[in-house]
A and B are shown apart, each in its own frame.
Chain A
């Protein structure tokens, strides 16, 4: 089975712009979670989607949003980018809520200038 794929792998944006990141889960996995990874902060949970519905949401401002499509692919959007949004954004999939093992993609490295 192909693993979790994320596109693009690298992205450079300027403050005030918006960005959309994409995640394709492992085939058959219907739950997708997003995390922000920064040095010293570890992985911070953004949100989880299951069957096109947001199931959980972390403590991030409303500039961070996401959605999931009927084929379980997910996108996250960050509007009005700030310098502090520079991070590695990771997507993880699992068969469904309650599945213990999350499988992570390689991440999208976002740099905001």
Chain B
């Protein structure tokens, strides 16, 4: 059973556009929600993370929106650039235990 469901599987965005990736979870005990970025041939790297006590967190062009009642969270990439082309994974964990990952979104930003 997939604890964290991620969509879409792939996404194509024009340069300068907004990329939006969505995730949903079931376990209300989750208390930490990170997003990872992975380039080909590399391991995933932490991009941005949020805790459920805030509804939004912004770091540069990257924003996490969190909806606790709907058990959903999303990543918004503003002014998307070709260098943002990568695979993005959402994840969730509770009390520092194991992380549950989404299935990933392959983002392509076309110039």
Contacts A100-B34, A100-B49; is A45 near B98 (CB within 8 Å)? yes
How many B residues have CB within 8 A of the partner chain?
A: 25
Q: Across the interface, which residues of A come within 8 angstroms of B103, CB to CB?
A: 40-42
Query: Interface with B: A11-19, A61-69, A75-83, A104-112, which one?
Result: A104-112
Chain A residues with CB under 8 A of B101: 35, 42-45
- Chain A: number of interface residues, binned into ranges: 20 to 34
Closest to A46 in B: B98
Q: Establish whether residues A48 and B43, one from each chain, have CB atoms under 8 Å apart when the complex forms.
A: no
Chain B residues lying within 8 Å of A104, measured Cβ to Cβ, are 36, 43-45
Does B62 touch A at the CB level, under 8 Å?
no
Which residues on the A side are within 8 Å of B97 (C-beta)?
56, 97
Select which of A42, A58, A92, A107 is within 8 A of B102 by beta carbon.
A42
* Residues B43 and A92 in contact, CB atoms below 8 Å apart: yes
Instruction: State whether the Cβ of A90 lies closer than 8 Å to any Cβ in chain B.
Output: yes
B44 engages A90 (CB within 8 Å): yes
Using A41-B103, A100-B32 as known contacts, say yes or no to A106 and B42 having CB atoms under 8 A apart.
Answer: yes
Which residue of the partner chain A has the closest CB to B93? A100
B3: nearest residue on chain A (CB-CB)? A45
Query: Is A70 interfacial (CB 8 A cutoff)?
Result: no
Task: Tell me the smallest distance from the CB of A88 to a CB of chain B, in Å.
Answer: 9
Give CA–CA (A44, B41) in the complex, Å. Answer: 18
Is A102 interfacial (CB-CB < 8 Å)? Answer: yes
Complex: chain A residue closest to B36, CB-CB: A104
- Min CB distance A37 to B, Å, is 9
Say how far B101's CB is from chain A's closest CB, in angstroms: 4
Interface residues of A (CB under 8 A from B): 4, 33, 35, 40-45, 48, 56, 58, 90, 92, 97-107
Q: Which 6 residue pairs of A and B lie closest in terms of their CB atoms, listed nearest first?
A: A98-B96, A104-B43, A42-B103, A43-B101, A56-B98, A42-B101
Can you list 29 A-B pairs with a CB-CB distance of less than 8 A?
A4-B43, A40-B103, A41-B103, A42-B6, A42-B89, A42-B102, A42-B104, A43-B44, A43-B89, A43-B91, A44-B101, A45-B98, A45-B100, A45-B101, A56-B97, A56-B98, A90-B44, A92-B43, A97-B96, A99-B96, A100-B49, A100-B93, A101-B34, A101-B46, A103-B46, A104-B36, A104-B44, A105-B43, A106-B42
